[in-house]
Structure 1
Amino acid sequence: MDLLLYTMVLLITGATAGLATGLLGVGGGFIIVPALYFIMESMGIPMDTAIRTAFGTSLAVILPTALNGARSHYRRGFLDLKEAVPIGVLGFLGSMAGAYTAGIFSAEVLKSFFGSLLLFIALQMIFSGKIDRGSKLRGAAPPLGFITGLLSGLLGIGGGVVLVPLLVMMAGFDVLEAVGTSSIVIALTAAGGTVSYIYSGIGKASLPFSAGYVNLLQFMVIVFMSIPFSWIGASLAHSVDVRYIRYLFIVMLLLTGLRMIF
């Protein structure tokens, strides 16, 4: 792949993922993973290395991006750290377990699993235009963090696409509170997964400029765009109707999910 095209794709990926992080309280991994995988696949990198590097690098990008989105939500009063930290700690542990589990499966299985998750997320976004708020159940939120973390480590995503509706429906969070809380939780899940992918990739067939399965060059280029766009996304979340942006994400998820599977 031409160097200029390679750089442009990474920059666009970072901007889109950052916008999704701040706007929707998700990690952006559902954008980063397929983009990185398709780039590396086009470069002739073996499938096993490509998919695991996409997962590990995605989680590394999500960490600073989500932290910046969390800071914006905290300043607006939509992030309660007393609620978020216990969820995030269990998410951290779940993410490490998920990253370990990912090493057991073949790249083909992981790719198909990830594609199926994208289709599920698209359907969830289609039918969750109005999420019914559940009653505030004591102790319901922290276990949701472990489930989110498990998916995060297994598939290189932040897990916010799963966590936000669960916090609203099962733990009684307001939607904006769920988005704000999700942003700090996915930062912790991303941290656990990143550590695991660095460790599990040591001594394996990794790319140049990589620490285990985290490619540092891809990380720096994507983060250059994802952090400022996470600030923009967080501001938009409190000021605009996000329905039309959701529709764009839905189309992208459906197309990418089908491409990953087939």
Structure 2
Amino acid sequence: MLSAYLLYGGLTFVLSILFSMGGAGSGVALIPILHFLGLDFTLAKALGLFAGASTTITSSLMNIKRKVIEYRFVLPIASMMMIFAPLGAYCSQFINEDIVKFIFMLMLFYSASMMMFGKNKALVHAQAHWVLFFVGIVVGFIAGLLGVGGGNILIPLLVLLGYDSKKVAITVSFVVPFSALGSFFTYASYVPIDWNLLVVIS
């Protein structure tokens, strides 16, 4: 058991460093790895959420301290994600696990494709305020369902919608810790959590 904890902790440490460089949570990579190593998929999602929140919360606090957050832009997304991410996490228990895994695979493909080919290309310029609420609802629910913070979905989507990439990065660093923790506590309400392992990976 100790060797397994050391393995999980080491993997989390490496992934957290790599993903923090890009301003994203490590959960999107940690979840499939933990599941591959034998952890239950839903437990892996819960642990990945907590690890992802731990990775990004420092960036969030630093941006608050530096006063670089544009709250008029951030709050519509943040408020909707904090409501709909836990809702997605709750609904996950009623959806066939194979379907969730398939959606997770599509999300990984989408994130990888956008990072390689479309991250800096705006397809439209949807600057209406209601778009931010809609983005928060959709991304929040999907993120909660899949057990991720949502940054890997949110960043390329907002850039494609024509928003400034620097503003988007700051927004994601603020939003992800709160949506991830909301989803984590929802999963923790119905999934047996290995609290010792949680301490190790955080």
- Normalising by structure 1, what TM-score? 0.68
Q: 1:131 matched to which residue of 2? A: 121
Summarize deviations over 1:29-69 as a string: whole Å, max 9, x none: 2112112212225xxxxxxxx01101111112222332212
3-state DSSP class of the match of 2:51? Answer: helix
Q: Percent identity?
A: 24
State the 1:168 CA deviation: 2.3
Is the 1:13–1:35 Cα contact (8 Å) retained in structure 2?
no
Of 146, 153, 157, the residue aligned with 1:155 is: 146
Of 183, 187, 195, the residue aligned with 1:197 is: 187
Q: 2:9 matched to which residue of 1? A: 10
Instruction: Look up the equivalent residue of 1:197 and give its one-letter code.
Output: Y
* Residue 174 in structure 1 maps to residue 164 in structure 2: yes
Is the 2:115–2:156 Cα contact (8 Å) retained in structure 1?
no
Summarize deviations over 1:122-159 as a string: whole Å, max 9, x none: 12222125323853613122221111111111111111
* Residue 113 in structure 1 maps to residue 95 in structure 2: no
Structure 1's 106 and 136: CA in aligned 2 closer, same or farther, altered over 3 A? closer
Structure 1's 53 and 84: CA in aligned 2 closer, same or farther, altered over 3 A? same
Instruction: Look up the equivalent residue of 2:197 and give its one-letter code.
Output: Q
**Alpha-carbon distance in 1 for matches of 2:138, 2:174:** 15
Summarize deviations over 1:178-237 as a string: whole Å, max 9, x none: 011011111121122112111123xxxx3xxx2xxxx322322222xxxxxxxxxxxxxx
Structure 1's 18 and 148: CA in aligned 2 closer, same or farther, altered over 3 A? farther
Is the 1:95–1:149 Cα contact (8 Å) retained in structure 2?
yes
3-state DSSP class of the match of 1:187? Answer: helix
Structure showing greater Rg: 1
**Alpha-carbon distance in 2 for matches of 1:117, 1:11:** 25
Of 70, 73, 87, the residue aligned with 1:80 is: 70
Q: 1:57 matched to which residue of 2? A: 47
**Alpha-carbon distance in 1 for matches of 2:23, 2:163:** 13
Q: 2:174 matched to which residue of 1? A: 184
State the 1:24 CA deviation: 2.5
Q: 2:135 matched to which residue of 1? A: 144
Aligned counterparts, 1:18-33, within 5 A: 18-20=17-19, 22-33=20-31
Aligned counterparts, 1:208-219, within 5 A: 210=193, 215-219=194-198
**Alpha-carbon distance in 2 for matches of 1:109, 1:89:** 27
3-state DSSP class of the match of 1:24? Answer: coil
Of 155, 159, 163, the residue aligned with 1:164 is: 155
3-state DSSP class of the match of 1:186? Answer: helix
- Normalising by structure 2, what TM-score? 0.86
Measured on the aligned residues, the alpha-carbon RMSD in Å equals: 2.3
**Alpha-carbon distance in 2 for matches of 1:108, 1:122:** 21
Summarize deviations over 1:228-262 as a string: whole Å, max 9, x none: xxxxxxxxxxxxxxxxxxxxxxxxxxxxxxxxxxx
Structure 1's 135 and 146: CA in aligned 2 closer, same or farther, altered over 3 A? same
3-state DSSP class of the match of 2:86? Answer: helix
Of 20, 39, 43, the residue aligned with 2:37 is: 39
Q: How many residues align?
A: 201
3-state DSSP class of the match of 2:37? Answer: helix
